[in-house]
Structure 1
Amino acid sequence: MSHIKTILTRRLYSTAQSDLKTTLKAVIPERLQLYSHVKKDLSSHQIGTQTVGSVIGGMRGSRALLWESSSVDPNKGVTFHGLTIEECQAALPKSKHESTDPKSEMLPESMFWFLLTGKLPTQSQINTFSSELAHKGDLPEYVVKSLDNLPKTLHPMTQLSIGISMMNNESVFAKAYAKGIPKTDAWEYVLDDVINLIAKLPALVGKIYSNTYYSGKNLGTINMDKDWSYNMASSMGFTLDDSVNIKDLSKSQSNDFVNLVRLYCALHGDHEGGNVSAHATHLVGSSLSDPFLSYSAGVQGLAGPLHGLAAQEVVRFILEMKNAIGGDINHKVKIEEYLWSLLNSNRVIPGYGHGVLRKADPRFTAMIRFGDNRAEEFSKDDNLQLVKNLSAIAPSVLTEHGKTKNPYPNVDSSSGVLFYHYGLQETLFLTVIFGASRALGPLSQLVWDRVYGLPIERPTSVSLKKLAGL
């Protein structure tokens, strides 16, 4: 009887679901027709202080979010407290072990310090801060055990979000708030959580990498004398000291990989506040959720294909393109024909275009310069050479095509290919490194949200009929 009841219950639920879909399908055409009318005919109409087009177009152009640390100009690209990428590279401290090496890159912890304070840190201050992060870098045992028990097929970004959420158990802000603290003191507890979270990201990234691709093998440890990026590379098995050199890199290649992590994470740390990961962190944090829960939400936003997955798409695209043109990476006509075949099939060229920029992304330029500074290493890398050739050819093709506002390469055009060169060929994992880097900006802003005592974010919504004046 129990079995029959289960079958009947399932049929009942299936019928209900079918009725719901049928009803919805009947409603959709009329609603789409109204939406098309609003989008086509009413986008320029004002509703309050906004246009209708902004309301239905992802709030683009709406200045409605306080953000201190960075801004994105259509022509200049991203600046950090007014400094360009090149100015930051010149001014921000490097690893204490490589402070005079011209190939050594600025440290992400230097960028975090700058984003948070607006003041350039000294080498001594960063040496101490790097050490603090390393000493706080081990994962709690319950996080390790929980990650080990997750399905090995679980998406790495889901694992990252879970790992960060679980460390909410460590939140000093949550504990202090539960006891009752003055609002004016909240930022200090938030800062403690932020530093603790950032400190544990290298080990968390390494653990997820190991569990996903190397059956949980211990690939490396946190070195107390090294910087944040080094420890991330070490935890993933890409360094020669205190780790398993799973990629069989030479010493110079290992050093270069560490510097690639440094550059990538510093550049991706912040990109003003309107992007999904930054805004999601700010939004959840506005409810006074602690930094672990807030940034876990940001990571989930970053996992979306329209936000954080572009670098892996570019790698796949470059490999497919190289194969399609028979490896003739310098053949301009073949490259152009391939690009037109994509566009004529209503596909996009991955790594090109940007929601704000109207020039080549300076982050792309910085990543290409990283490769150019290692010309001997990359001279025989057809993938990177194809990326560079493509950046000279694609803009004119896209301009002629006429359907993009920005025909220039963005940072994703180059970053994934550089990681691929050094052996990080599990392209799904590139977004996890992005997730570690993006913590720097939104979490520094979260501290300021509490300094200012910003209220919970609560915009007013509006129906499509109201927009249409019905």
Structure 2
Amino acid sequence: MSLLKQKLAGILPAQIKEIKEFVGANADKKVSEVTLGQAYGGIRGVKALVCDTSEVPPNKGLIIRGKELGEITDKLPEEILWLLLTGELPNSEELADLQADLQKRQDVPTYVWNVLNEMPSDSHPMAMFNSAILVMQRESKFAKNYNDITKAEYWEYTLEDSLDIIAKLPAIAAYVYRKRFDKGDRIDPKPGADLGANYAHMLGLDNEKGDFAKLMRLYLTLHSDHEGGNVSAFSAATVNSALSDMYYSLTAGLNGLAGPLHGLANQECLKWVLETMEKFGGTPTEEQIEKYTWETLDAGKVIPGYGHAVLRVTDPRFTAFHAFGLENCSNDPVFQTVDRVFKVVPKVLDQVEKISNPWPNVDAGSGSLLYHFGLKEFEYYTVLFSVSRAIGICSQAVISRAYGLPITRPKSLPTSKFKELVNG
């Protein structure tokens, strides 16, 4: 048994007991109310989901298992996976054991490469990536053992599937990039490399100084989890609540991530930055950026990458990416533009009465860093996001199955019934 599984087997029983007692004693207590506007507004802000892996306080931003991002931006993705699952960072022995376990699982079945090779040449990278995951469903240990295991064992087989998937995703994602954009043959994993470094290696982009590997590690960490109510996490959790295995559940969530309103934001931000540079013939001055920002707002458009549905401060994920940029590519014209936009746009937006959050979110800067290292194919960016978010989605599923959470089944009503409720 791996050290991770031993750890979870040791800590979960007490957590499960505590939750059962807590819910049993307080099941009828009201924790949230729903307005008509929320019912017709995406159920935004309704407190009705359980997620112990992370939270996003409006005044702080992403917190993973009680740790603010500033505490963990130097950690490897494998350490973040351990943290999400257990609530603690691994020691050196535990980390080494997890990395060895993942490396044993990283071989991708040949039929996956065959499927990708047979897809139309103009397939969207996300369609290719999700197809590759879904075609591996035949490998699911949860599905194969479902009829012979107890409810108390669901988390163990969900963990097995999760580790199998997470171990294989960098190789699959890297080949999707190389195949879809004609970058050459598939590159095999580097023995002993961590998830982020291996992903960078298999993409085949310039990593002579190791800076691109550092970015991939940071990227996988910062996008790994973002509580349970976003489209990808909620979709995956809903499907998994029906006891669909992780191959079905993860692809459900990532198909949501492919939507323009969820996973395409960093592309739109980078496009706006590049359009700004084209308009001014290079990196614009702060005065030019201010003028163009007002022109954009006066035309009824938004500034991509600024504002957030939950946050009311600068997204700490943006802060981490921005710090990386200042250290590793401060002379890059695209990053310099992002930096100047950051200095100007919040001051402009703060003057607009209807804008409650003028601060940058994670998407405002991440695209410029990818662009700097030669990853300029915008369509691919959501695949990067997916490799990272899979870590959180899988972790949430393991915890939910351990807690024994039932199938998700909220109540829907027709408009006529809502009218009756409102009008009495």
The answer to whether the superposition gives a TM-score over 0.5 is yes
Return the alpha-carbon distance in structure 2 between the equivalents of residues 379 and 64 of structure 1: 43
- 1:8-45 deviation digits (Å, cap 9, x = unpaired): xxxxxxxxxxxxxxxxxxxxxxxxxxxxxxxxxxxxxx
**Candidates 273, 297, 301, aligned match of 1:343:** 297
**Candidates 265, 269, 274, aligned match of 1:310:** 265
| Residue in structure 1 matched with residue 337 of structure 2 by the alignment | 386
Query: Which stretches in structure 2 are left out of the alignment for 5+ residues?
Result: 1-31
2:130 is equivalent to residue 161 of structure 1: yes
Contact kept? 2:370, 2:376, Cα under 8 Å = yes
Alpha-carbon distance, 1:219 to partner:
4.0
Aligned positions of 1:344-423 closer than 5 A: 344-374=298-328, 378-423=329-374
| Residue in structure 2 matched with residue 251 of structure 1 by the alignment | 208
Alpha-carbon distance, 1:312 to partner:
1.1
Q: Secondary structure at the match of 1:343?
A: helix
2:182 is equivalent to residue 214 of structure 1: yes
Aligned positions of 1:51-90 closer than 5 A: 51-89=35-73
| Residue in structure 1 matched with residue 248 of structure 2 by the alignment | 293
Alpha-carbon distance, 1:314 to partner:
1.2
Return the alpha-carbon distance in structure 2 between the equivalents of residues 213 and 180 of structure 1: 44
Q: Secondary structure at the match of 1:373?
A: helix
The one-letter code sitting in structure 1 at the alignment partner of 2:106 is G
| Residue in structure 2 matched with residue 8 of structure 1 by the alignment | none
Aligned positions of 1:188-267 closer than 5 A: 188-214=156-182, 217-238=184-205, 249=206, 251-252=208-209, 255-267=210-222
Query: Which stretches in structure 1 are left out of the alignment for 5+ residues?
Result: 1-47, 90-104, 239-248
- 1:192-241 deviation digits (Å, cap 9, x = unpaired): 000000000011101111110116x3242112211111111122113xxx
Return the alpha-carbon distance in structure 1 between the equivalents of residues 330 and 71 of structure 2: 27
The one-letter code sitting in structure 1 at the alignment partner of 2:185 is N
Q: Say which is worse superposed, 392-401 or 141-150, in terms of deviation.
A: 392-401
Sequence identity of aligned pairs in percent? 43
2:154 is equivalent to residue 186 of structure 1: yes
- 1:54-77 deviation digits (Å, cap 9, x = unpaired): 111111111111101100011100
Alpha-carbon distance, 1:345 to partner:
1.3
When the two chains are superposed, the root-mean-square deviation of aligned CA atoms in Å is 1.4
Alpha-carbon distance, 1:250 to partner:
5.9
Q: Secondary structure at the match of 1:401?
A: coil
Contact kept? 1:70, 1:272, Cα under 8 Å = yes
- 1:159-210 deviation digits (Å, cap 9, x = unpaired): 1111111111100000101x33111111111110000000000111011111
2:394 is equivalent to residue 443 of structure 1: yes
Alpha-carbon distance, 1:158 to partner:
1.0
| Cα distance change, pair 250–440 in 1 and its aligned pair in 2 (3 A) | closer
The one-letter code sitting in structure 2 at the alignment partner of 1:276 is V
- TM-score, with structure 2 as normaliser: 0.89
Return the alpha-carbon distance in structure 2 between the equivalents of residues 233 and 210 of structure 1: 12
Return the alpha-carbon distance in structure 2 between the equivalents of residues 128 and 372 of structure 1: 34
The one-letter code sitting in structure 2 at the alignment partner of 1:298 is G
Return the alpha-carbon distance in structure 2 between the equivalents of residues 317 and 454 of structure 1: 43
| Residue in structure 1 matched with residue 226 of structure 2 by the alignment | 271
Alpha-carbon distance, 1:328 to partner:
4.6
- 1:311-360 deviation digits (Å, cap 9, x = unpaired): 1111111110011123252x222111111111111111111110000011
Structure with more contact order per residue of length (Cα contacts < 8 Å, sep ≥ 6):
2
2:388 is equivalent to residue 431 of structure 1: no
| Residue in structure 1 matched with residue 79 of structure 2 by the alignment | 110
Return the alpha-carbon distance in structure 2 between the equivalents of residues 407 and 130 of structure 1: 40
Higher Rg of the two aligned structures: 1
- 1:89-147 deviation digits (Å, cap 9, x = unpaired): 3xxxxxxxxxxxxxxx4211110100001011012221222222122112111111011
| Residue in structure 2 matched with residue 173 of structure 1 by the alignment | 142
Contact kept? 1:134, 1:222, Cα under 8 Å = no
Contact kept? 1:131, 1:224, Cα under 8 Å = no
Return the alpha-carbon distance in structure 1 between the equivalents of residues 244 and 356 of structure 2: 38
- 1:360-394 deviation digits (Å, cap 9, x = unpaired): 101100011112223xxx23211111111111111
| Residue in structure 1 matched with residue 24 of structure 2 by the alignment | none
Q: Secondary structure at the match of 2:56?
A: strand
Return the alpha-carbon distance in structure 2 between the equivalents of residues 466 and 322 of structure 1: 52
Return the alpha-carbon distance in structure 1 between the equivalents of residues 287 and 88 of structure 2: 49
Q: Say which is worse superposed, 224-233 or 255-264, in terms of deviation.
A: 224-233
The one-letter code sitting in structure 2 at the alignment partner of 1:259 is K
Contact kept? 1:303, 1:309, Cα under 8 Å = yes
